[in-house]
Amino acid sequence: MLLRSRFEFSAAHQLTRHPGACRRMHGHNYQLEVSVGGPVDRDTGMVMDFFELERLVRDRVLQPLDHVCLNEVIEYPTAENIARWSWRQLAPVLTGLAEIAVYEMPTCAVIYRGEDER
Ligand SMILES: [Zn+2]
Distance (Å, whole) CA 80 – CA 64: 17
Could you give the dihedral angle defined by the CA atoms of residues 94, 100, 105 and 110, in that order, rounded to the nearest 10 degrees?
A: 160
pLDDT truncated to tens, each residue of the chain (118 aa)? 999 999 999 999 999 999 988 899 999 999 999 999 999 999 999 999 999 999 999 999 999 999 999 999 999 999 999 999 999 999 999 999 999 999 999 999 999 999 999 7
d(CA 42, CA 103): 34
Q: What is the CA radius of gyration of the chain?
A: 15
Which of 27, 48, 35 lies closest to 104 in space, CA to CA? 27
Q: Supply the pLDDT for residue 20.
A: 86
Domains in the chain with CATH codes: 2-117 (3.30.479.10)
Q: 26 alpha carbon to ligand 1 midpoint, in Å? A: 6
Structure confidence at residue 88 (pLDDT): 98
Q: Which pTM does this prediction carry?
A: 0.95
How far does the centroid of ligand 1 lie from the alpha carbon of residue 114, in Å? 23
The CA distance from 3 to 63, in Å, is: 22
Identified catalytic residue from 52, 67, 69, 117: 67
Ion ligand 1: residues, CB within 5 A, are 22
